[in-house]
Amino acid sequence: MTSSTDLRSLFIPLTAADREQAERLARLQVTVEEATQVYRNALAVLATAQYLKMLDIDSDLEASYSFNPAVQLVADMADLYIPEVRRRIECRSVHPGEDSVYVPEEVWEDRLGFVIVQVKDDGTRADLLGFVPEVSVEQLSLSYLHPLDGLVDVIEDAPTLVTILSNWLRGKVSEAWRTLTEIAQPSANKWSPAFRHRSLPQNNELAQQIGRHYSERHRVSLEGEGLRQRIQQLYSEQSGSASEKAAHPLMAQIVRGEKEISESETIEALVHLVQNTLDVKIQIKAAELLWMLAPEHPATGAWRILDQGLKLEGYPLALMVAVLPRRDGRLLVLARTYSLESSYLPIGTTLSGLDEAGNDFFAVQSRRQDNYIQYYFVGDYKDSFSLQMSIGASKLAENFQL
């Protein structure tokens, strides 16, 4: 039997399209030396992406620093982003015949591993020589390389990520979680055909789904008298005394129908509702209305979609999570599941929340013609939970901390 230690390198021929893609990136450099280095490293990244594709491990060039020309101007990075584990591997090129490889100190941290790729000078072939899990010298001897198949263990054993939702409110969001604006406005979201490893149809589908949902809601909610009525309704649905409700003079005027309200006053009214109501349903609805009017307004909280090509039983799904601060110092969380394939979720799609002990604290299931399923709840800072989407026996879970 062949043990892992018998492994030699893995040869991958590079196509003209690979070279063109790398060259386009490299031309946006300042010197021939830098351009050549960027070119060779880009080929190393593409060869590694090709290898991962064989292993059915998705990679995302667009999310990789290595394929971002602006980043390449100010940093020397040759990373490949792996959405499955939301981590990066560094892919460094080496010339044939060299016995060590240059790995700049700026990429030593936060990498799942370092794949070393011998790139032929004419750019026609790459040989994946092996990998190392970590680097602490700038000139790494190739004798330290581990057999390539060990990279599988590194990726499979990558620690489960926990998304800290309170960080979102401070603007610290992992790139896997995309804003609704990014998703719902396809014009601001031009996917490059050059980035072949990106799941293009899913992103378009996601954009359509989210865009459709919001445009329908927008039409119903915001046209004509609709908006005033929605605000009046939200306001009157609040529990509490009339004096509490009328605490904001503008709100009182809107409720009594005394005033034509401008857009800025509408926003002000909604912000007041979002920030002051303790009714979770009203807070969510007001925040969603506010988002439609002013998506960047800080009072909307953070609304994000995990764009990871999640699939259950072959059905592509997206998970949306929103987090909003509350007047009582707690946090409101909204979880929502969309289908990416059609307007409706597959019947029986379940979205559930699990506490730290793994016990369900909610579970909602889709019926016929449900566009999405959702649940919202309030928690305290540092609370941990998981959101799980399931169809039949297939499950996908994401871990969170407030």
Partner 1 sequence: MLDILANSVSLSIPPNFMCLATIQNQLHELIEQFHTADRRQQRKLVTQILSLAQQSDEFWQGISIDAEPYAEAYQAVMISLPRQLSHFDPSKVTFVHWLNCLLVEETLARSPKIWRGGGNTDPAIYAEAKQIAMNEILNKFEQYNPQQGSVTNWFNFILKKRILDVTKDWGGKGGREVPFNEDYGEEHCTHQFEQLTSESDKIKIDLPKSSNITPDISLTRNLINRVRKWAEDKHSELRQCCLRDRSEVNCYTLILMRLPRLIERQGEFEFSDVPNWKMIATELNVPESTVRCHFKDKCIDHLKQAFPASSYA
Out of 97, 99, 109, 243, name the contact with partner 1 by CB under 8 A.
109
Q: Does 191 bind partner 1 (CB under 8 A)?
A: yes
Nearest to 319 by CA among 334, 331, 330, 332: 334
Residue number, 55 or 247, with CB nearest to partner 1? 55
Q: Compute the distance between CA of residue 232 and CA of residue 400 in angstroms, rounded to an integer.
A: 35
CB of residue 139 vs partner 1: minimum separation in angstroms? Answer: 16
Q: Does 2 bind partner 1 (CB under 8 A)?
A: yes
Cα dihedral sign, 13-17-23-25: negative
Within residues 155-174, the interface with partner 1 by CB under 8 A covers 156
Out of 84, 161, 181, 195, name the contact with partner 1 by CB under 8 A.
195
Q: Does 152 bind partner 1 (CB under 8 A)?
A: yes
Residue number, 90 or 288, with CB nearest to partner 1? 90
Token pair, residue 289, equals 């209305």
Contacts 24+ apart (CB under 8 A), 347-352: 348/391, 348/392, 349/312, 349/315, 349/317, 349/373, 349/389, 349/390, 349/391, 350/388, 350/389, 350/390, 350/391, 351/375, 351/387, 351/388, 351/389, 352/387, 352/388, 352/390
Out of 44, 45, 48, 54, name the contact with partner 1 by CB under 8 A.
54
Q: Does 138 bind partner 1 (CB under 8 A)?
A: no
CB of residue 4 vs partner 1: minimum separation in angstroms? Answer: 7
Residue number, 211 or 346, with CB nearest to partner 1? 211
Within residues 351-390, the interface with partner 1 by CB under 8 A covers none
At 350, the amino acid letter reads T
Q: Compute the distance between CA of residue 300 and CA of residue 322 in angstroms, rounded to an integer.
A: 9
Q: Does 69 bind partner 1 (CB under 8 A)?
A: yes
Q: How many residues bind partner 1 (CB under 8 A)?
A: 74
Q: Does 98 bind partner 1 (CB under 8 A)?
A: no
Residue number, 194 or 222, with CB nearest to partner 1? 194
Q: Which residues, at least 6 apart from 205, have a Cβ–Cβ distance to it below 8 Å?
A: 316, 340, 341
Count of H-run helices and E-run strands, the chain: 12, 17
Token pair, residue 27, equals 């031309």
Q: Compute the distance between CA of residue 64 and CA of residue 110 in angstroms, rounded to an integer.
A: 13
- Stretch 171-190: interaction string toward partner 1, x if CB under 8 A: ----x-------------xx
Q: Does 122 bind partner 1 (CB under 8 A)?
A: yes
CB 331 within 8 A of CB 380: yes
CB of residue 281 vs partner 1: minimum separation in angstroms? Answer: 32
Phi, psi of 103 (to 5 degrees): -125, 105
Out of 98, 105, 237, 360, name the contact with partner 1 by CB under 8 A.
105
- Stretch 15-44: interaction string toward partner 1, x if CB under 8 A: xx--x---xx-xxxxxxx-xxx-xxx--x-
Q: Which stretch in 54-62, 82-90, 137-145, 258-266 sits in contact with partner 1 by CB under 8 A? A: 54-62
